[in-house]
Amino acid sequence: MKKLLTLALGIVRSASAYAQTPTLQEVLGKYFLVGAAVDTNFTQGNDPQAEALCRRQFNSVVAENCMKGEIIHPAVNYFYWRDADKLVDWAEQNGKAVIGHCLVWHSQPPAWMFTYENGDTVSRDDLIGRMYNHIMTVASRYRGRIKGWDVVNEVLNDDGTMRQTPYYTIIGPEYIEMAFRFAHEADPDAELYINDYSLSNPAKREAMCRLVRSLQQKGCRVDAIGMQSHNGFNYPDYTEYEKSIEAFAGLGVKVLITELDINMLPNPNDFSGAEISQKFKFEKALNPYKNGLTKKGQRLFDQRYLDLFKIYERHKDQIGRITFWGLTDRHSWLNDWPVKGRTNYPLLFDRNYAPKPVLNDILKLFE
């Protein structure tokens, strides 16, 4: 009985210690927005623990999927607003900034976007019209309520060439400039972002700088470059990563860390990046930490996060936001990508919604 009582007291004590710990939004929020991507269980009210965590720790949210073309605009003349509306309402009720993700992307686009009903590829003029209609309808619905939009996502290949998406091959490279103009027309006060992965890669960094410079010269509003930052335990090279923050800030735009996580699992073929169509078959060897990270793995996780946040601390004046791609390990897309059915540990909150010890060390860097 006595033992039980001591145990219970211990739990109460550590819970209240946690309650007193400063939160991410209290500490990092002094310098930039700090947020998380949330899923539809969240927006539909089926995950109250996630809501509580988000309310407490973060001052901004982004939809993990429900504002993407394939979901919000499933047919030419049909929009599905329910989840996106709920997210924007929830954010307003709870005083959180909302980030719109994303208007133009080759993955998860509206299924009908590039073809006519008979299966033929749409003409250039029609694709421009469809893109206009999509951006105008979605971005103007939330006019004045969205802090900023990821206008284009992943327009570059890793070698710095332009990705050959249907937007690119049908319209030409100017589709990017058009997308920025349409988004600005739809919501003149919203910030506008260009977002991509593997931006520490020097060729991709250079290409991003050239692209943003040319958009600026054309008079487009570009507020920030989003570095997705789907990192791993052994990539990217943080020296190169920091160089990219510096190069982007040098263009006079803010740098946003838009989709942060650290993949702790082995990747097939030395894979990195975040091309979502890339998938590999499940093998036991690719899922080594079913019951938890090893001590060594945990140390590596802590070190990788700390080193990363030391970089963010050095550049806190140039960074506008840090968003984690998910609230807790239980929610992370990295349990199912690029290999389905694994147990991953990429975020700062564990499967039981509890903060990991390294969170305090991160906060200390900014106190």
Residues that bind ligand XIL (CB under 6 A): 64-65, 153, 228, 259, 274, 276, 333
Residue 232, phi then psi, degrees to nearest 5: -130, 175
| Torsion of the alpha carbons at 144, 146, 150 and 151, rounded to the nearest 10 | -20
Cα separation values, 254 from 195, 250, 257, Å: 12, 9, 10
Residue 57 or 153 with smaller CB distance to ligand XIL = 153
Place of tokens 């589709």: 175
DSSP 8-state class, residue 115? B
Least distance (Å) between residue 98 CB and ligand XIL = 15
Least distance (Å) between residue 75 CB and ligand XIL = 20
What is the helix (H) or strand (E) element at residue 125, kind and residue range? helix 124-141
Residue nearest to ligand XIL (CB): 333
Residue 228 or 244 with smaller CB distance to ligand XIL = 228
Least distance (Å) between residue 341 CB and ligand XIL = 14
Beta strands in the chain (DSSP E): 33-38, 60-63, 97-105, 148-153, 191-196, 224-227, 230-232, 254-263, 319-324
| Catalytic-role residue among 154, 242, 246, 313 | 154
Contact in structure between 139 and 186 (CB atoms under 8 Å): yes
Residue 200 or 228 with smaller CB distance to ligand XIL = 228
Beta strands in 170-212 (DSSP E): 191-196
Q: Give 84-90's long-range contacts (Cβ < 8 A, gap of 24+).
A: 84/142, 86/43, 86/44, 87/38, 87/42, 87/43, 87/61, 87/63, 88/142, 88/145, 88/146, 90/43, 90/51, 90/61
Residue 283 or 336 with smaller CB distance to ligand XIL = 336
The yes-or-no answer on residue 246 being catalytic is no
3-state secondary structure of 203: helix
Least distance (Å) between residue 88 CB and ligand XIL = 18
d(CA 185, CA 181): 6
Cα separation values, 245 from 45, 83, 193, Å: 37, 33, 15
Least distance (Å) between residue 258 CB and ligand XIL = 8
Residue 42 or 333 with smaller CB distance to ligand XIL = 333
Cα separation values, 4 from 8, 11, 12, 251, 352, Å: 6, 11, 12, 60, 22
Least distance (Å) between residue 357 CB and ligand XIL = 26
The yes-or-no answer on residue 240 being catalytic is no
Burial (Cβ within 10 Å: 0-12, 13-18, ≥19) of residue 298? middle
Residue 228 or 343 with smaller CB distance to ligand XIL = 228
Least distance (Å) between residue 274 CB and ligand XIL = 4
| Catalytic-role residue among 51, 64, 242, 259 | 259
Least distance (Å) between residue 91 CB and ligand XIL = 18
Residue 25 or 228 with smaller CB distance to ligand XIL = 228
Residue 64 or 329 with smaller CB distance to ligand XIL = 64
Indicate which residues carry an active-site annotation: 154, 259
